[in-house]
Structure 1
């Protein structure tokens, strides 16, 4: 497809149309020296006068089209009425059809009220001509008049259909943009919740331990402070990674570290043990490399569930199972706690208290985005269980 050079795109359409007609006139002037006189002094000259009318009308139409389309329709109709007295009968018909095209353009690019006004002009001209012929005793061919009116209606309907199609496309695009923004906000909210809630929970517990044993067990206090320092650094690193990604979206270069995955479960177990909860980590099947989104989601699900064991279950033990199966990854976090709030950590609880609902919601959303299955609730024998099944691509499953 041939692209118009940028400087030429800024040339107004009227300049192109006027330049084209000027070229035609100059060429004809070379053939006949009195061309200009024949163009603008019509005395029965059936060859050139309609050409002059067409040149003037189309140039004015091109000048008015983009800013005043209704005025462009009026100019085309005025040219058609003016040429009715000429011997070339095709000129008024051609200019009327030009007005129809302008009506279609107006209906496609302007509000309905403006396009209706544009369609009313040729309709009024046809009605006025019919009334004048009836009043003057001239014969009226109603089939011709009806055909002219039908061309106006067809042009308006086609343009209106195009306008509706564009409006629908714009609405769909705007909805898609809003949905993309909403999805991104939810993704960021989930990441912030998972990163901050886990580490801040560990810090709060360690701070409480340190304050209780500060006077009697200095060594335990020092250990708690070391855990707080280490966890704080990890939290800051996670926040820097997320903020770096947001800045990168604004056009800035970001130094991004790798997203966490199941390889970091051992570190999670160690941090949880430092907070006073022992995690029994079990791996089943043959461990293999997972897609980045599955790996991140699996780690965040386990992290959130274990965090709630620490914060809400009231138990000192929980078990985490990561099972690599054919075509799926199965996760399970179980505790025997009896805390009043649940979420992988409220044995007899109802399951409604995980971080005011955000924890369960975030885990369920992550699993849903990957097309998996998620469940969470009290166990019949006491305690709480969080389970997730994440489907794996065929190449990973093999």
Structure 2
């Protein structure tokens, strides 16, 4: 069941529309009663065929004015209810008082609150009934100019109603469009925040996983030689201290952007230019690592440069953790005009399982390295391959396309 405008709003509208209906009805009754044959004849107005006011005329007059009270709730029904008694007044030769105003108000309401087809139907009905009442009228004939003015008034009232309806529809469309844009902006902000959180999570994982793995290996080495070679153990502990400082610095720079009002230290993101330092760090941690750079280095987009560095970092970290004692690793970076090829391979044990589905190497891997690497490589349209090597060990390789020679 449809509730028109809600109970509270419908009641307020009915009250607001009732007052004009009462005013129009009252004024019509007064004019109808005062302007009888005697009064109009004394003023020189033709009264041939004009009936004296009586109860029937008053009743028809009131019936023509009452629909104004429901003009917004049932405009078309109200228009029909107003036109029929008005036509009857004309046809029976009564004076119409202000019923013409009531009919005009109802026609305006149909045009303002209903669709175009209904509004055109209301206009046609008004014109037809007015023409029929004039043709069958028993009252004194009016000049053609008066009929023309009435037709123009009907069309003008209808046009004002349509203009108001179109304006309301336009304003509603503007509000709806503004609401849609606001929802779209909110969705974009949520997507941007989610993407930023994902990016920060990847960065934190790469930093923490790498440095903690290095610190764990160095701490294990220090524990084994603590009694037999205190000097070597001290060097390992110093390396752990330096690695911890580096991890804290990188984490502080990454997390700093999350703190409102905090000023993070600004610095360039790591890239392929920092691979020698990374390889040296892995050597100090006990993983024999080599670096080969092929081709003349060219300009690389910052995002691709960072993704390549993180891929090497993740590959070496997993080799350090899972390749086993005595394993060696090699990093190969090949620069081509339209491609950057990055490869990390080791000769560690290969029978204990490969990279887990979540990025850990080994059957019980629990990291998120593979997920992060796949996201980074896919983000820049690269091709990623991870798996065991035919001769033993594992290989991580990514090829990043470089557009326009970059």
Bucket of the pairwise TM-score, normalised by the shorter protein: 0.5 to 0.7
Gaps of 5+ in 1: 1-67, 88-119
Tell whether the 8 Å contact from 1:350 to 1:377 is kept in structure 2 after alignment. Answer: no
Greater relative contact order (Cα < 8 A, sep 6+) = 2
SS at match of 1:318: strand
5 Å-filtered alignment, 1:1-398, equals 81=21, 122-134=72-84, 137=88, 148-149=109-110, 151-154=112-115, 155=165, 162=174, 164-247=176-259, 250-314=260-324, 316-338=327-349, 340=352, 342-343=354-355, 356-394=366-404, 397=406
Q: Distance in 1 between matches of 2:77 and 2:385?
A: 73
What displacement does 1:84 show? 5.5
What displacement does 1:322 show? 0.6
Deviates more, 1:263-272 or 1:133-142: 133-142
Q: Distance in 2 between matches of 1:72 and 1:324?
A: 77
Q: Distance in 2 between matches of 1:79 and 1:393?
A: 75
Tell whether the 8 Å contact from 1:351 to 1:376 is kept in structure 2 after alignment. Answer: no
Q: Which has the larger radius of gyration?
A: 2
SS at match of 2:366: helix
What displacement does 1:378 show? 1.9
Structure 1 equivalent of residue 158 of structure 2: none
What displacement does 1:149 show? 3.1
TM-score, normalisation: structure 2: 0.62
- RMSD over aligned CA atoms reads 3.7
Q: Distance in 1 between matches of 2:105 and 2:254?
A: 71
What displacement does 1:239 show? 1.2
Q: Distance in 2 between matches of 1:376 and 1:143?
A: 81
Structure 2 equivalent of residue 92 of structure 1: none
Tell whether the 8 Å contact from 2:354 to 2:361 is kept in structure 1 after alignment. Answer: yes
Instruction: Call closer, same or farther: CA 1:324–1:281 in 2, change over 3 Å.
Output: same
TM-score, normalisation: structure 1: 0.63
SS at match of 1:216: coil
Deviates more, 1:156-165 or 1:252-261: 156-165
Q: Deviations over 1:180-209 (max 9, x none)?
A: 111011000000001111000000011111
Tell whether the 8 Å contact from 1:305 to 1:343 is kept in structure 2 after alignment. Answer: no
Q: Deviations over 1:316-352 (max 9, x none)?
A: 20111111111121101111222535449xxxx9967
Q: Distance in 1 between matches of 2:240 and 2:274?
A: 18
Q: Distance in 2 between matches of 1:70 and 1:259?
A: 64
Gaps of 5+ in 2: 1-7, 29-69, 91-98, 116-164
Tell whether the 8 Å contact from 1:343 to 1:354 is kept in structure 2 after alignment. Answer: no
What displacement does 1:159 show? 6.0
